[in-house]
A and B are shown apart, each in its own frame.
Chain A
Amino acid sequence: MNLRRLAPHRTARRRRSSTFGLVGLVLSLVALGCSRPASAPSAEPFALPLPTSFSSEGAHWAIVPMGHLGSEANTFWQLVVERPGSTTWVLATPPGVADNGGLVVRGGASRPLAIGFLTSELLGFSPLAATSDTGHNWSGTVLPSALTPVPDALAGSGGGESVALLGREGESVVADKGGLGAWRTILTRKALVAAPGSSSCGIGALTAVALAGPGSGAPLVGATCSRKGQVGLFESSGGSWRDVGPRLTGALSTSSTEVAGLTADGSRLQVLVAARTGSLWTLSEITQKSAGTSWTVSAGLAIGAGTRIQAIGAVPRGGLFVLLANGSAASPRDEKLEVLVQPGRRWQLMTSPPSATQTVAFASAAPVTKGLEAFVVDQSTLTMYRLEGTNAWVKREVMGVQIPYSSSS
């Protein structure tokens, strides 16, 4: 069949032009579908790790994730303890509740030791477990809502009072006068944002709580600040909240900040500040010895792109360690251990811990290398290495843990 005879030239031309129009329309739609809208640079918050170590009631403790670390439902956080007089670590994970969301310890000079559970799956509020006998026995209670997933979401004082930061971005702060069973709201983020004294910060999320600041013993709240160079630190005073955070100077004066850690023991307040400039974060510790006095600022620890903080914890006598790593949280590699032995000092790079170290624990401040241990996790096996001399990690103990896989789904 001769198609030309059935399709006069004019009709064919009109058809071709409409066909080209159709092609053009489709190509435009395809191009539209493929192009990506321009987006503002992401303002990722500083990622705060939960693995840690600390000392309490004469015992050394560490919190590590175990199991299949790539899947939250099969990651089970464990609490291990080296009790006074003992030279071995034992499992002391509080029983009775799934801990796939992670564990946080009640910081400060509080007694007894209390551990908070971050929520996972369908649980909508955080359980708390307390022990007075270094983890032999635990009693359980609950918070009214879910703890904020930050290491310093829970704090206490020597008098038995506690504060807790609740909600995904720190929506509220609750306090308990003792017993951990009668929590009342003392602050909401909305109220703090609306408070006259908070405008110097430009509050984003609430990121840490503490009790017993120097002198006052009042609750303290850390926050992210969008105002350059301002540290978001607020103290309860006579029923209202006032901004007590310092203003950073020098290179960090143009950085937005986030309070990454908050420790107060009544005599000293230590604030770990993460300052962001572009894609780089700088970690500094600022310290205040008494209310209203000047702040001591440590040297900055630069954290480059691609590097994560694997663990943060305490070094005896007020020091601080930061374990940096590349790779994912589940498979850390190229670990670097930085220590701030004393407030105001420079960061000290230690011997690199073994690969896949989740956290480290310090037993001594002088010398800081004495009794330093690294906790390496391989699914259900926890291996403790001890630093011998200055650069030799020696396997000291291997602990097998019966991980209850699939029990949370």
Chain B
Amino acid sequence: MPGMGSGLSDNNSTIVSAFRTSLLHQGLLALAILAILLLIWNVIRANQIRALSKAASSEGEPASPAIEDRPALGPEPTARRLLRIAFGLIWVLDGALQAQSAMPLGMIPQTVQPTALASPTWVQHLVNVGGTIWNNHPIQAASAAVWIQIGIGLWLLVAPRGLWSRLGGGASVLWGLIVWVFGESFGGIFAHGASWLFGTPGAALFYCAAGVIIALPERHFASPRLGRIVLAVTGTYFVGMAVLEAWPGRGFWQGTSQHSTALGAVTAMTRSMAATPQPRTTASWVSSFASFDASHGYAVNLFVVVSLAAIGLGLLSGRPAPTRLGVGAAALMCVADWVLVQDFGFFGGVGTDPNSMIPMLFVITGGYMAMLRPGPAADTPSLAAAGPTTIGVLRRRATQPGFLLRALGAIGAVAIVILGAVPMAFASVNPNADPILAQATDGTPNAVNSPAPGFQLVDQFGKPVSLASLGGKVVALTFLDPVCTSDCPLIAQEFRESDNSLGTAARQVVFVAVVSNPVYRSVSATQAFDRTEGMAGLKNWLYLTGSVASLEKTWNEYGIEVAVIGAGSMIAHSDLAYIIDARGHTRYILDSDPGSGTQATKSSFANVLTSSIDHVLPSS
């Protein structure tokens, strides 16, 4: 009802229920895939053992496993192992966080938009592309994020070596970049108030960095060079962040301004983080730090600037002792910032990841390990090269079931990624929003079959129109206030969109609105509305008005409540739409409250309207 406000909450029961159902269905599918792979593994294992027994009996060798025949696989480089397992677990955690019930509707407004809005216009436009897809298809998008991230995490965890493992790193880079650009608005590096404390340059960029390292051939881990490069880059980053933190006029040197009640950047951020729904203990930690910063903002920032610069120089030094100190200090600072400023990152119902500090710490530690403990000199030997004889290869295959299991596990992980990505890919090319958004706002259309009340009114050109005069066509009827400032313009746009999507079938449909304002009901008012809302050019659009008596009769017969409130308020009236078939029977009654009035909800309502009209078209 215009004049009363409306909108979808993050925890809208229809959307949450649909999201859970979608996750359940896809989860069952994932389990089925894993079961099939387990079956395949079992069959292959049986064949391998059978082949080994057959070969051994023909060559007179024992079929039992022999230690000396196992291939000489070198250990996975420590740095790579650390990054692979750590980021595998983080991706799985992120995927689990994406399964929170508020994600479909809360992700964009609460997580994506705040950073995008603080960024330049071109970033906003780019982010808006992804945001539009998510908003139009929130269930598919949120489910996709769950399975893609869990899939990548499992991929990294189950495939420790070889091409499959490196491809897992590549997948981590690819999805990390998508998240960094569309989810984090380039990690906020172009936004006002970028700071190491707040997570610049974005957690996903560290996922990408780790993915790149994992995707490298293992020979790169054979010397300390890789580690030095990682530490040099992170050291340079820390020095840059120290300068940014020290830059005057950005609000970081103050807790509470001396000249006004305005809060400093860190105090304001920590206070808002403390207000996030979370356990009382963590909230009190963050709140205490916010109070401390409010009182000692200058000292806090001085400490941060000096610490970041010292860590950066330590990592850049290339010498063991300063590097070790730098890594140790970075660990302390990262954990402190993660707890006291970033507030762990995943609270509040729409937290998508543990924020940047933990991934950053793993990348720094990985770089340090790579420098300190280089791995084997060569890449992992292939299976074929490991054993000189056929019996050797067969024996090794039979005695290393873990390899096959991991290979099949990797295939399963890829299948889970695809499970999320494919529906999302189809959704992203569909410009029409999911009808569930309209259903979440207004419920499902009410199917009826009763004669529609007649009316005698005039159209926007002053020509008399009655329901009978529209006979033979399907009528989509609604009630609009021409001077309404909120719902009515949105409903008109939804009608126009539905008209467009009907294509040639629109020739059999008339879209009709009846004025729902007893004060502003002139033909000139309907014309001004049509002109402003782009309805003037629609051939099958009628905006009807009449005397107060004839309007009131029509409102009463269609159950439309109209109230003049006064004191500067617009008219309050019911938002309903009627689908009347060619015989003059009402077939559907739709609640047409446009809700939040976003592009997605408009498209979704238009979709539902079109679908209802489709059902009553003479040819259907």
Which A residues contact B (CB, under 8 angstroms)? 1, 3, 6-7, 12, 15-16, 19, 22-23, 26-27, 29-31, 33-34, 66, 76-78, 91, 93, 95-100, 117, 119-125, 127, 129, 138-144, 181-182, 401-404, 406-409
Contact = CB atoms under 8 A, between A and B. Distances in A.
Nearest to A67: B568
A198 B263 CA distance: 49
Contacts of B236: 19, 22-23, 26
Nearest to B247: A34
B89 interface: no
A62 to B, nearest CB: 14
B517 A96 contact: yes
9 contacts: A15-B228, A16-B318, A33-B194, A95-B519, A98-B485, A98-B569, A141-B525, A404-B569, A408-B485
A139 B521 CA distance: 10
B489 A29 contact: no
Given A3-B320, A406-B5, A100 B240 contact: no
A97 B520 contact: yes
Among B4, B483, B522, the one with the most A-chain Cβ atoms within 10 Å of its Cβ is B483
Given A98-B568, A140-B521, A407-B569, 17 more contacts: A3-B319, A3-B320, A7-B318, A26-B240, A27-B243, A34-B244, A66-B568, A95-B566, A121-B485, A123-B489, A127-B525, A140-B519, A142-B522, A142-B524, A144-B528, A404-B569, A408-B486
Contacts of A142: 482-483, 520, 522, 524-525, 528
Given A77-B568, A407-B3, A19 B316 contact: yes
Interface in B171-221: 194
Contacts of B224: 1, 3, 6-7
Interface of B: 3-5, 194, 223-224, 228, 232-233, 235-237, 239-240, 243-244, 247, 250, 316, 318-320, 371-373, 482-486, 489-490, 517-522, 524-525, 528-529, 531-533, 564-572
Contact of B316 (A23, A100, A403): A23
Given A96-B519, A138-B519, A407-B572, A122 B490 contact: yes
Contacts of A403: 567-568
A122 B232 CA distance: 53
Contacts of B371: 3
B368 to A, nearest CB: 12
B318 A12 contact: yes
A140 B486 contact: no
Nearest to A34: B247
A181 B520 contact: no
Interface of chain B, main secondary structure = loop
B519 A27 contact: no
A122 B522 contact: no
B411 to A, nearest CB: 38
Contacts of A98: 3, 483-485, 568-570
B483 A127 contact: yes
A34 B200 CA distance: 15
A403 to B, nearest CB: 6
Among B194, B486, B567, the one with the most A-chain Cβ atoms within 10 Å of its Cβ is B567
Contacts of A27: 239-240, 243
Nearest to B316: A19
Contacts of B250: 34
A408 B532 contact: no
Nearest to B489: A122
A409 to B, nearest CB: 5
A396 B3 CA distance: 33
B240 A29 contact: yes
Given A1-B372, A404-B565, A97 B532 contact: no
B224 to A, nearest CB: 6
Contacts of B533: 124
A166 to B, nearest CB: 12
Contacts of B194: 33
Contacts of B565: 95, 404, 407
A160 B572 CA distance: 33
Contacts of B532: 123-125
A39 to B, nearest CB: 15
Contact of A125 (B239, B490, B528): B528
B485 A31 contact: no
Contacts of B520: 96-97, 127, 140-142
A19 B239 CA distance: 12
A116 to B, nearest CB: 12
Contacts of B232: 15, 19, 22
A12 B529 CA distance: 73
A3 B318 contact: yes
Nearest to B373: A1
Nearest to B224: A6
B5 A407 contact: yes
B564 A76 contact: no
Contacts of A76: 567-569
Contacts of A26: 236-237, 239-240
Contacts of A122: 484-486, 489-490
B480 to A, nearest CB: 12
A30 B568 contact: no
A19 B567 CA distance: 68
Nearest to B518: A96
A138 B483 CA distance: 15
Contacts of A129: 519
A61 to B, nearest CB: 15
Contact of A96 (B223, B483, B529): B483
A93 to B, nearest CB: 5
B318 A15 contact: yes
B243 A404 contact: no
A99 B571 CA distance: 11
Contacts of B239: 23, 26-27
Nearest to A99: B568
Contacts of A15: 228, 232, 318
B241 to A, nearest CB: 8
Contacts of A7: 224, 228, 318
B525 A140 contact: yes
Contacts of B485: 97-98, 100, 119-123, 408
Among B228, B318, B319, B570, the one with the most A-chain Cβ atoms within 10 Å of its Cβ is B570
Contacts of A138: 519
A144 B531 CA distance: 9
B240 A30 contact: yes
Contacts of B531: 125, 144
Contacts of B569: 76, 98, 404, 407-408
Contacts of B571: 96-97
Nearest to A128: B520
A401 B239 CA distance: 59
Contacts of A139: 519
A138 B569 CA distance: 15
A409 B529 CA distance: 19
B265 to A, nearest CB: 14
Contacts of A124: 489, 528, 532-533
Nearest to A119: B485
Nearest to A7: B318
B484 A123 contact: yes
A307 B348 CA distance: 43
The 4 closest A-B pairs by CB, nearest first: A96-B519, A76-B568, A124-B532, A404-B569
Contacts of A141: 520, 522, 524-525
